[in-house]
Every structure is written in structure tokens, then in C-alpha cells.
Amino acid sequence: MTRPASDLPADPHVVTGLDQLLGLYPLATAEPPRGKESAVLTPAYAEIVAASPFCVVSTVGDGGLDQSPRGDAPGFVVVRDERTLVLPDRRGNNRLDTLRNVVRDPRVGLIFLVPGLGLELRARGTAVVTTDPDELARHEVRGALPATALVVTVQRVYFQCARAVKRSRLWDPAAHVDPATLPTAGRMTLEAGGFADAGEAGAYDAALEARQDSTLY
């Protein structure tokens, strides 16, 4: 299988076919290994989800793919049964990219991280957006209910090896970057055209942390 001719780039080094790709990776097989994949959340995989305070949800939008971070106390993603995950939609930036996409196209992918754990858990399936009051009540925090929740029907789940986390030293405090050395949210918004001047960006940065802390739920 190759990409359509109309999409082929002029660069002769671009890989355009699966046979060509597999030839570059002698240890790879025509189909990905299935030994660690499961069509359901095994007890071990369910334990990883329950321990995870952070995941990334990937969805399909009109303009391409989107990824959205989700985080809360470990167990915020509820394993309802071996085929079902429930993610409360906590307060965020109100773009609603993930929810808009799921309403149009139910396909989702998730990756779960556990601080200190090298391996990650990957899952894919389909999702719906629910307003079921009983479901939302299960996710109440500090007296606040989420407006909606994502109910994911799992189709495939498996773990990812720890090499990426090891190479990146993701959980190693000695490798962590001082946030003061990186661009602020205000500067990034300014350079993207969202603010008129540096003063507006600075005011945004000055109020950001307190505003976020007061609107977590």
C-alpha cells in the first residue's frame, strides 16, 4: 500500500510505501505484534488506569487530529467495566476541541502516564459525550460537577515500553527545566496574535496562576 500519487512529495528520501518502511526496520513484522494487546481492560491494565493522574486524549477533527491533556487525582478516569472508561470533563480553556470532535467522529485514542513509572498505557476505541446526571454525580469534586463526561468503549489496549521515558528522563528531577527559562503563556499568546502588546501579555501572566488555581473545578 502506498500513498496516492497526488500526495507524493518531491523529496526522494520520503518513505511512501509499507514495504519500503519495513525494509528499514529488520526486526519489524508486517503486522504489529499482538502479544501484549487486549480487547478489554485486563485487571493489570485497569490498575494502571486507576493509578494514573494524567492522560492525553486524541480525537479526529475536521482539520486533522487533536490531542488534549486531562488530569486530576489518580482514579479520576473511572474503569466502569472491562470495556468502558469514563473521563469527567473538568474545567479547561473552553475550546471544547475534544468534545466537538467526538460528537462528529467517535474515534479516540488515549495514553496514560503514571509519575515514576517508565511504561505507559495506550488505548483506543470510540466515545460518546454524556450528560447522565448519575454519571456526573460520581465525579463531583469540591461540590462541583463536570458539565459532561466522555464514555469510552475500549477496543484495544496495551502497554508501551519505557524507552521513551528513560531517554527523556521524564521523571528525573535533575533533568527538569526551570520554567523561568521558557516562554510564558502571555508571550506565546502575544506572538500568536492574541494580545495587542507586551503589557497585555504581562498582565495575563501576572493573573494566570491565581486564576487557574481558583477554577480547577
Among 142, 70, 75, 78, smallest CA distance to 99 is for 70
| Three-class secondary structure of residue 203 per DSSP | helix
Domain ranges of the chain: 43-168, 177-208
Hey, CA dihedral for 135, 139, 140, 146, is it positive or negative?
negative
Per residue in 47-92, pLDDT (tens digit) is 999 999 999 999 999 989 999 999 999 999 999 999 999 999 999 9
Please tell me the class of the 43-168 domain. mainly beta
Per residue in 20-39, pLDDT (tens digit) is 999 999 998 888 878 899 99
In whole angstroms, give the CA distance from residue 7 to residue 18.
15
Segment 113-117 mean pLDDT: 98
CB of 88 closer than 8 Å to CB of 139 = yes
What cell numbers appear for 200 in the block?
497585555
